[in-house]
Amino acid sequence: MAAPLFAAAEAGDEAEVRRLLAAGALAYGRSERGGLPLHPASLHGHEGVVRLLLDAAPSTAVAAARPAEAPLYFAALGGMAHLVQPLLELATAAAPRAGSKGQTALHVAARTRQAGPVRLLLESNPNKASVADRRGWTPLHTAAYYCQDAACEVVGLLLAAAPATALAVDRDGWTPLHHAADRGNLEAMKLLLAAAPQAAAAMDSNSQAPIHRAADASHAAAVQLLLEAAPELAFAPDAAGGDTPLHLILRSWYIAQRGVEAARCLVRAAPAVQPALDLCVDAWPHSAILFADLAACLPLSQEHWRSIPEPCPDLARALPAVLQRSAAEAGWLVGRLNASQQARLRAAALSLARAQRQSSTVLAAELSGRILALALAEPIQAA
């Protein structure tokens, strides 16, 4: 009669569970995998069935399934806040129970991204917020990994309960911020940085900071946030191969075009022309659109301009910034344009000069540069 009771418990059929228990079915009878009827009932949030089974066998409130997962674990896994409280009241010993990876019910609740179960578990035992599983993950590591922007309340609850876990490291040396950056969980990152700004500079076992993880996954907004928090790490090499964040993006450029914006964030943050220029040269042609960003932010010598590979048609985008900075450098830029662009630019410059003479007007260099850059834009094709 164990199988019918399991099926009824999983389905939430209170009438059938009541009938089977009255007919002699054992609420503490285990399946071949070591589970109890209470486990699927807790997982799926069938409160009426849970209470029937607990009334029939109160001791099952702390009974674990084969991987050491108590009913509270399953209630947390299902995000069933309405079951967490009664299970805590009936079996406070269930809270420390760990799952197959050494995870507590709080780890599992954090993974579900639902604040209700997390809040109840923390109220029952706030010390559990500091417990690490077999990978070294605290519940905050779990929340940082799983909690996307709409579900960051869990991160805030865990930080409030155990602020020190913002700097806790797992077996790979990753802080919760490393995990949030790797996943691009921006709101979680903001909470973590507010709680522990120094986490932005925390290095893992490979000497990679969170910005390396954000860059490797091509999360542009995450890269920008970390640049604001720790700009000195924009071109920090790791210990594994000397890779900077820009290395990591350019290496997978052909796979992830979303890396374009992340790469631009890093190039614009370059404190000096090198090593950014060399990295872009090595990654050409995938990096062709980055040279304009670099030139717009930093002055390039004539030798630098000569090192830029051809073709690089996007260079014209940097003309306004370069022209404002140096007429000589603008000339070097123009020398790198293709013949068609140079012809359009020459015609535009002559027209602009004629218009200024006729109107007795002298335009500012920045405005002139923008007008000339527009002349270099690719013409719109007729439909």
- Per-10-residue mean pLDDT, the chain, length 383: 73 80 66 65 72 64 47 56 57 48 82 82 90 95 86 92 98 98 96 98 97 95 97 92 92 68 94 92 89 95 94 86 88 88 85 88 79 66 44
CA 53 distance to own-chain centroid? 41
Residues 294-337: pLDDT tens digits? 999 999 999 999 999 988 878 988 988 898 888 899 889 988 88
For the purposes of burial, counting CB atoms within 10 Å of the CB of 150, is it exposed (0-12), middle (13-18) or buried (19 or more)? exposed
Residues 257 and 142 in one domain: no
Residues 249 and 372 in one domain: yes
Domain count, the chain: 2
Encoded tokens for 327:
């007429």
Q: Can you tell me the distance from the alpha carbon of 134 to that of 290, in angstroms, rounded to the nearest whole number?
A: 42
Residues 146 and 2 in one domain: yes
Match 């013949």 to its residue by tokens: 339
One-character DSSP codes across 58-87: GGGGG---TTS--HHHHHHHTT-HHHHHHH
Encoded tokens for 193:
């940085």
Helices (H), 69-138: 71-77, 81-90, 105-112, 115-124
Domain termination residue (choose one: 152, 176, 204) = 152
Q: Can you tell me the distance from the alpha carbon of 201 to that of 136, in angstroms, rounded to the nearest whole number?
A: 20
Residues 1 and 141 in one domain: yes
Encoded tokens for 356:
């200024």
Determine contact, residues 281/267, Cβ cutoff 8 Å. Answer: no
In a domain, 128, yes or no: yes
Domain termination residue (choose one: 117, 152, 187) = 152
Match 């990295």 to its residue by tokens: 279
Encoded tokens for 372:
């000339």
In a domain, 73, yes or no: yes
Percentage of residues in the chain with pLDDT exceeding 70?
Answer: 79
Q: Can you tell me the distance from the alpha carbon of 329 to that of 295, in angstroms, rounded to the nearest whole number?
A: 10
CA 349, 357, 361: angle at the middle one, nearest 5? 95
Residues 20 and 146 in one domain: yes
Q: What is the pLDDT of residue 373?
A: 72
8, 38, 54, 96, 335 from 48: Cα distances, Å: 12, 11, 10, 25, 79
Residues 121 and 267 in one domain: no
CATH number at residue 108: 1.25.40.20
Residues 143 and 271 in one domain: no
Residues 131 and 257 in one domain: no
Encoded tokens for 188:
């979680």
Domain termination residue (choose one: 152, 175, 206) = 152
Encoded tokens for 374:
């527009």
In a domain, 351, yes or no: yes
Q: What is the pLDDT of residue 380?
A: 43
Residues 139 and 264 in one domain: no
3-state secondary structure of 36: coil
In a domain, 164, yes or no: no
Encoded tokens for 155:
């991160």
Determine contact, residues 218/256, Cβ cutoff 8 Å. Answer: yes
Phi, psi (5° rounding) for residue 226? -75, -30
Residues 203-223: pLDDT tens digits? 999 999 999 999 999 999 999
In a domain, 58, yes or no: yes
Residues 6+ apart with CB under 8 A from 137: 103, 107, 145, 170
In a domain, 100, yes or no: yes
Q: Can you tell me the distance from the alpha carbon of 222 to that of 211, in angstroms, rounded to the nearest whole number?
A: 8
Residues 5 and 148 in one domain: yes
Q: What is the pLDDT of residue 266?
A: 96
Residues 147 and 251 in one domain: no
Residues 6+ apart with CB under 8 A from 343: none
Residues 246 and 144 in one domain: no
In a domain, 369, yes or no: yes
Q: What is the pLDDT of residue 267?
A: 95
In a domain, 52, yes or no: yes
- Structural domain including 380 reads 242-383
